[in-house]
Amino acid sequence: MKRLWLLFSQAVTVVLAAYFVVGTLQPGWLPQRGVSSAVAVLEAPAASDSASPVGSFRLAAQKSSSAVVSINISKNARPSPHGNDPWFKFFFGQQQDQPQMGLGSGVIVSPDGYILTNNHVVEGADEIEVMLNDSRRASAKIIGTDPDSDLAVLKIDLDRLPVIVLGNSNALQVGDQVLAIGNPFGVGQTVTSGIVSALGRNQLGINTFENFIQTDAAINPGNSGGALVDTNGNLLGINTAIYSRSGGSMGIGFAIPVSTAKMVLDGIVKDGQVTRGWIGVEPNELTPELAQTFGVQAEHGVIITGVLQNGPAAQGGMKPGDVVTEVAGQAVHNVAEMLSVVAALPPGQPQTFAVQRAAGKTTLQIAPGVRPKPRQRQP
């Protein structure tokens, strides 16, 4: 009996030693049930392709970035305006401008190939090439431009075009999160994030009609014409300008609201031009000096210093010295606000203008006309 117990103990010792050696040198030869269950408890489940980490803007960027394009423009060399002056040739030689290249961005807003961008991106361009996010390229033609809002509409002929969804810029509030998408400095499509810093920015001297969304999302040269989108990937504005002392982003960027862009797009595509309201007055900022000159007392508004004879305002009874405080029920505090509100009025339909005069307050019914086209600059 003692001998059998000795043989059993030796056998167990050999088996345990072998198990130890195999477990050390070849652990894969042993069953892994216990290890697998432990790993299953400790490891997080793998994220699916459609899942988005908490706080990520991945889905918004994926939804909108495919509809944002890069725009390359070229301008041919043009002869110097002094080319026929013999004295100029004698002193300076034959001068000729060099070909110019430019970069910008745009947003596809229609499956028919219509693209919104800034007028200053394509102004004076002889050739325009559009590159999609899927690397397809196409030549674009200008359907129309609107320098007053710094917007332009292009068109390309490609199939299966991604189209951005238009959002509601009128519902924006300061503090809302936004993304800016474009091609800064030509490095390739880039997405930056920030918040809405301010609304209704005007008097910046950028456009005739200004109602900018201000954002701290990084916008740099080359972003012009690109998309400002919400966290759902819907278009809120067209990135247009930055305030910068260095040429790069300083956290102050400006975008044209999509409400304005849609009005320009519809006007250009349907009528070939943007139709704006106009009443024929010379408005000025209300100052104590002007108020005293015309003998009027008003806390806010825009003072009218000139009225075009037989113009819409004159026919409606407006006079120099009137202070316009409201247009169609909307309060106006400066010239930029009044221009924007009047421009949005449908021509031919009478609107109510609240006016402060020396004799007191009154209301006028004025039917706006069509705003005349700006005079073309002489070369």
Question: Which residues does the annotation mark as catalytic?
Answer: 120, 150, 224
Q: Exposed (0-12), middle (13-18) or buried (19+): which is 251, by Cβ within 10 Å? A: middle
Return d(Cα 164, Cα 262) in angstroms, integer: 13
Work out the end-to-end distance of the chain between its first and last CA atoms, rounded to an integer number of angstroms: 120
What is the Cα gyration radius of the chain? Answer: 33
Q: Exposed (0-12), middle (13-18) or buried (19+): which is 322, by Cβ within 10 Å? A: buried
Return d(Cα 285, Cα 308) in angstroms, integer: 18
Residue 155, strand partner residues: 114, 141
Q: Which of the 8 DSSP states describes residue 148?
A: T
Integer angstrom CA distances of residue 44 from 39, 41, 47, 52: 9, 8, 9, 15
Residue found by looking up tokens 């972003």 in the block: 223
Closest CA to 227 of 61, 15, 37, 339: 61
Q: How many residues does the chain have?
A: 379
Q: Exposed (0-12), middle (13-18) or buried (19+): which is 278, by Cβ within 10 Å? A: buried
Stated as kind and residue range, the H or E segment containing 330 is: strand 330-331
Cβ(302)–Cβ(332) below 8 Å: yes
- Dihedral of CA atoms 290, 295, 296, 300 in degrees, nearest 10, equals 20
